[in-house]
Structures are given as C-alpha cells and as structure tokens.
Chain A
C-alpha cells in the first residue's frame, strides 16, 4: 500500500501546517491535523466521508448482499430478476475457462496455464537486480522457447495446437512480451542509427520512429490485418496472430528507440572520447562501453513502456484476435449471459489491474532507488 498511501513530500502551503508524525497513539491529533485542520478542509472531509460511505454501501449491496453466486445449469432467470440490484457472479465460474484460455482444447488447458506461470516467473526473475547480467538474455530465450513448446506442442507426446485456437491471457502475455523481446534490440539499433553521423541512416531512423509514433496503434493493426497480405507474394500466407505480433514489434521498436535514445544521451561524452582514444571500433565502443551504461539508465522508463504495451495489447480486439479482452467480450455474446457484461469486465479488469499494478509499483520503486543512489 505504500505507493497509494505515500504522502506527497512537498505539499502546497494550502490550509494550515500539517503534522505528519502525530499518529503515535493520538488518533484525535492526527484527525485534527489531517482531516479537520480548517473549516474548508472539514467541509471537504465530511462531504467525502458521506459520499464514500454511500458508494461503499451500494457497492457492497450490489456486489455481495444481493449478489447471486451460483445458478443451476444455464438458468439465468434468477440473475436477470435482480439485474441492477445485485451482481450475478455466477457468470464467472461458468465462463472463466473460456475467458482465460479461449478456444484452446479443454483437456489441454493446463498447458496455457503453465505458460502463464512461466511468464510470471520470467517477469519475477527479470525484476531481481541480482539477475541483471548477460545470462538473463539466455533465460529469456529459454523461457520463450518453453512457452512456444507448451502452446504449440507437437513433440514430447503433446498434441499440436495451432495458433488460431490460442486465446485469452496467454495471447495477451505473448503479444506484450514478444513485442518487448524483439522490439528492444530493434529499438537499440534504431536509437544508435538516430545518433549516427551518417545522414542517410539517421533520416531513415527518424522517419521510422516519427511515422510509427505519429499514428494510432489501431492503424498499424489494420495495416497488419488488411494491408500486409497485399504486400506478400502469392501463396505466402502469414497467420493473423503473427501479423499482429509483427505490428506490435514494429510499434514497440519505435517507442523503445525513443526510450533508448534518452539513455544514450545520458552517457557522458567523456565515455565516448575515452573509448575512441583506446582505438575501439564503433561496435566495440557501443557494445562494451556505451550500451551497458545506457541500458542501466533506461530500466525505469523501459518498465513503464512495457506497462503501456501490456495495456495496448487489448487493441487487438478490433482486428478480432482472441486476447483476454476479446474472450471476455465473446463470453457474454452467449444469450443466457448477455446482460452481465459488467461482472465479466470487472473480472477481466482485476486481472489486468493485478499485472499493471505490480509493474507500476515496481517501476516506482526503481525510480525511487535511482533518485537515492
């Protein structure tokens, strides 16, 4: 809770002075200092307490007291009777397998579940500073290969499952993570190109970055789903998910190039000069001296960019790829459950929130560490 309850360090001098350490056993003193310090402040506090209490009561009434948790079979008439008065959480146990895994073969769904766990383990490992070494690259390659094997199968006695049956949370995680994994090297190359002394290379890189950043992601996804087949020779048919993944990599590459450029700019010029004086070549200089320092600088913005990608993957709904949001939207097409979208969106929203909140907390901690270092 620290990040949410973190008090602003430098409050405006509005109202009276506030005492921050009045909490030691003296609740009344704390209340007077932080809620009722002046007449306007008291009015605001009372109003907010009133509104908050009202909202809480109606939320608990809707979501708990009046809610229905299970229904027999697909008989949702009881649910429909209390629509607007109480929530129908029965839709979640009924549909959660479809929302999480899409149309993946039912008896094989432990495989995407294991893939999700692999992703979480990978994220957790990458967040440990002890692990920020070159070996992490191999860990990523290994993890992504394992995820591919789990999802596709076809060996070790696992039946093959083609991409058009994938769906739900694994697809969201795949789009975001592979976008980052391939977009990052692309971003590094483009960022170096943008700082190059060679005008043709520099302008190519600027053109790429500005074009991608200037247009909405949706138009890139449309391009991937409609225009891409036009640009391929006859007979070449690339799967829809892969096309969206390519669009994501190109999109990620442009944004990560900008992040990386910031990191490169933060490396002092003396480092360049020293590397030149040692007679290192361009690639030696960048690979051994400049990039290792630049990447350290960009880790916090990199995490924020990943958070944005994670949320942006939901846009594939518009081109009909079954990510987490699309499966949720599809689950409530079923006539029996049609009117319970709010419950389903809240369920999916809590999954998105769990991932995004963890990432944003982590990024804030990194930033705080960077400041204190």
Chain B
C-alpha cells in the first residue's frame, strides 16, 4: 500500500505538465503557420488579381509556343522557331556546360595553388598567397566584366594570337583544334567508360581477396585489356576516324575546330579563377590539418613519397577538404548565373528573356529555381555519398 501512494500523484502531474507544454507548442505552431498561410494567400490573391488585370494567363502553356529568341551559342540544335521549352533545355545545357567544366578546372587549378601556397619555395608560396588574396577580395561580377573587356580588346580574327599551333585567341573567342564526334566515336567512348567501370569493380574484388591472403594481385594487364584494348578493337572494327581538325581562317572568322565564344570563355575564366582561390585555401588547410607525424611515421617505414601522399596523407586531408569543397561547387554553379551580365545565354538569361517577352514572371522564376535546386540537390547527394566513403570509420 505504501508503495502505491506516489503512483497516482505522478500519473496525475506528468500528463498535465506535458499537455500544458504541448498545448502552448501547438498554439504557437498554429499561430505561426496561420500567419504564413495568411500572408501567402494575400500575396497570391494580389497576384491573381494583377495577372488577370494584365491579361496574363498563369500556367506553363507558354512553354509550347514559338520562342522567337535567337541563341548564339547553343550546343543542341536550336532555331528561333523552336518552342520555349526547347530554349529552356538549351539554357540548362549551357549552364551545365560552364558549370561542369568550371568545376573540373577550378579544382585542378585550386589544388595546384593550394599546394604552391605550402611550397618551401618562398617566392612561389608568396605569389600563391597574393593570387588568393586578390581574387577573393574583388567581386566576381567585376572580375567577369574585366575579363570580358580584355577579351573584346584582343586583336581581330585576322591578327589572332597563336600561342600554340592550331590554338587561336582573338576577339572572336578561343578556337581550339577538335575531333569531330560522330556516332562511332560515341560507341568507342562508351566502351572505354564501361571498361573503366568494370576495372573499378574488379579492383575492389582483387583488393578484397588480397586482404584475405595477403597476396598482391597486379591489375595493370586487366586495365590494358578493358580500358585500352577493347575500345581500340571497337574503333578499328567500326572504322572510326579520330583525325584532328585544325581551325582555319576564312574571311573574317574561323572554320573548323572548336570555338569558345568570348562570352563563354570570359565566364569560364572568371568562374575558374575566382573559385580556385577559395579551393586553394580549402586544400591548404586540409593538408595542414594532417599531423606532420603522419608523414614522419610513413617515411620512417621506408614508404615512397608518392605512396605516402596517395595512401596516407590525402585520405586524411580529404575528410577535411570535402565538406567545404561541396559548398564551393554549389557556389560556382549558382555564380554561373552571372552569365546574364555578359550575354552568355544560360538558363537565367533565357528565363529572363522569356519573362520580358511573355510576362510569365512567376513561371520563369519558378523554372530557374527548380533547375538550380535540382542541380544543387544532385551535387549535395553525390558529395555526401563521397564524403561518407572517405569518412573515418571509428571503432
């Protein structure tokens, strides 16, 4: 009997205090959500009223209409008679084209500068520091306009600079030698990619077996067959041509080769140099975060320097590097929307033109947001997956 006396008291008090707290919480949530809904409803009713007053019909039906907008630098087949939908897809491809190449180049350049910053050569490390400081302390848009002005100040196509044979730099942009890609070439590239994936899977199995018996199993002859031999065989049997075409000056412009327009080139240079300054700092702090003892211990074991860097230092540095690197990649993609300032037609620029032509403001901006949110989410998911792979497995 004595033990049962506190029981009812506790049963009584606990639910009351909990429910009081819960009630307050519920009340506040209802208030906040109610206010949010009310504000949105008010904005929406205004928008509906304004749009009907301006005779703009909401919805995405306009995507099927003829765009009538020229796109100078399209990789997909496009003409102004195509629909707005097609124009948007061309814009997305243009955004991805500058973003993906920009990410790769910025990573390479940023890593090089980050390592240069740590060099024992005083001059090299100081120059890298100045590079980082100057590029980080100027607005990207200013840098972009600056590069674009420099591009326009280049000599005309007739007097183009030729730093290397077949590479021309003029106010028409950068012209590079290229290999015309046909269906056969795509088959060969596809085979090589499949070979590399197979090789990667094989490597994992071989390492798993090595962990069991300690016998190292060489991989290179499989690699030779899968990544080189097989594609070569496909190329030979299909009779694919890999001849490089050099650009040629005809009249006022170049024929053949791969042309990067001044707008694209200026945007790419601005994005790559700006982002590389941030990446350099990330790489530097990542490498510095690896304790020096790790180097010393590995060297004391008599391991080769390249082996130490690849298998001991980099895996540890990557753990520090990857999370901030992800946000730099996302920044680069978002910054690629500055294209509109120099007239490179990325998704933002095309949505802006659409908006001016049709008045479909809400839909156009919703499309921009959708595209960027999708790309951002994709990159985040990939980097989270990669981060989970390199993360420290704690026991």
Contact = CB atoms under 8 A, between A and B. Distances in A.
A315 B38 CA distance: 32
B25 A198 contact: yes
Given A48-B123, A315-B141, A342-B150, A10 B292 contact: yes
A233 B120 contact: no
Contacts of B122: 34-35
A362 interface: no
B153 interface: yes
A233 B368 contact: no
A6 B145 CA distance: 31
A176 B36 CA distance: 27
Contacts of A215: 334, 368-369, 372-373
Nearest to A316: B141
B341 A317 contact: yes
B153 A342 contact: yes
Given A318-B340, A342-B153, A35 B142 contact: no
A204 B362 contact: no
Interface stretch (B125-133, B167-175, B192-200, B248-256): B125-133
B92 interface: no
Nearest to B116: A44
A314 B146 contact: no
A222 B120 contact: no
From A5, A52, A307, residue with most partner B Cβ within 10 Å: A5
A37 interface: yes
Interface stretch (B2-10, B43-51, B223-231): B43-51
A270 interface: no
Contacts of A201: 28-29, 32-33
A39 to B, nearest CB: 12
A158 to B, nearest CB: 32
A197 to B, nearest CB: 7
Contacts of B142: 314, 325, 345, 348-349, 352
A35 to B, nearest CB: 6
Contacts of A211: 369, 373
B137 A360 contact: yes
Nearest to A354: B137
A231 to B, nearest CB: 4
B187 interface: no
A318 B355 CA distance: 15
Contacts of B340: 218, 318
B137 A353 contact: yes
A342 B152 CA distance: 11
B140 A230 contact: no
Given A4-B130, A204-B32, A315-B338, A11 B120 contact: yes
B49 to A, nearest CB: 8
B372 A214 contact: yes
Tell me whether chain A's interface is mostly helix, strand or loop, or mixed: helix
A4 B129 contact: yes
A7 B125 contact: yes
A233 B119 contact: no
Contacts of A229: 50
Interface string B22-33: 000100110011
Contact of A311 (B43, B139, B299, B337): B139
Contacts of B361: 226-227, 230
Nearest to B362: A227
Contacts of A4: 126, 129-130, 133
B284 A8 contact: yes
Contact of B121 (A9, A35, A317, A357): A35
B365 A18 contact: no
Nearest to A341: B149
A356 interface: yes
A77 interface: no
B123 A15 contact: no
Contact of A200 (B33, B47, B115, B129): B33
A219 interface: yes
A232 interface: yes
Contacts of B118: 8, 10-12, 14
Given A41-B121, A345-B146, A314 B133 contact: no
Contact of A230 (B32, B46, B145, B334): B46
Tier of interface size on chain B: 35 or more
A15 B120 contact: yes
B134 interface: yes
Nearest to A6: B129
A13 interface: yes
B302 to A, nearest CB: 15
Interface string A330-358: 00000000000110010011001100110
Interface in B339-369: 340-341, 348, 352, 355, 361-362, 365, 368-369
B106 interface: no
Interface string A298-335: 00000000010001111101100000010001000000
A230 B138 contact: no
B79 interface: no
Given A15-B121, A37-B120, A342-B153, A204 B33 contact: yes
A362 to B, nearest CB: 12
Contact of B136 (A7, A48, A342, A360): A360
Contact of B355 (A9, A18, A198, A226): A226
B261 interface: no
A253 to B, nearest CB: 15
A280 interface: no
A68 interface: no
Interface in A157-204: 197-201, 204
Given A342-B146, A345-B146, A360-B133, 9 more contacts: A214-B377, A230-B361, A234-B50, A341-B145, A341-B149, A342-B149, A345-B142, A352-B137, A353-B134
19 contacts: A4-B126, A8-B125, A35-B123, A200-B32, A214-B377, A215-B334, A215-B373, A219-B348, A219-B368, A219-B369, A230-B46, A230-B51, A231-B43, A231-B46, A314-B142, A317-B341, A352-B139, A356-B136, A357-B133
Interface of B: 25, 28-29, 32-33, 36, 43-44, 46-47, 49-51, 53, 115, 117-127, 129-130, 133-134, 136-142, 145-146, 149-150, 153, 284, 287-288, 292, 295, 299, 334-335, 337-338, 340-341, 348, 352, 355, 361-362, 365, 368-369, 372-373, 376-377
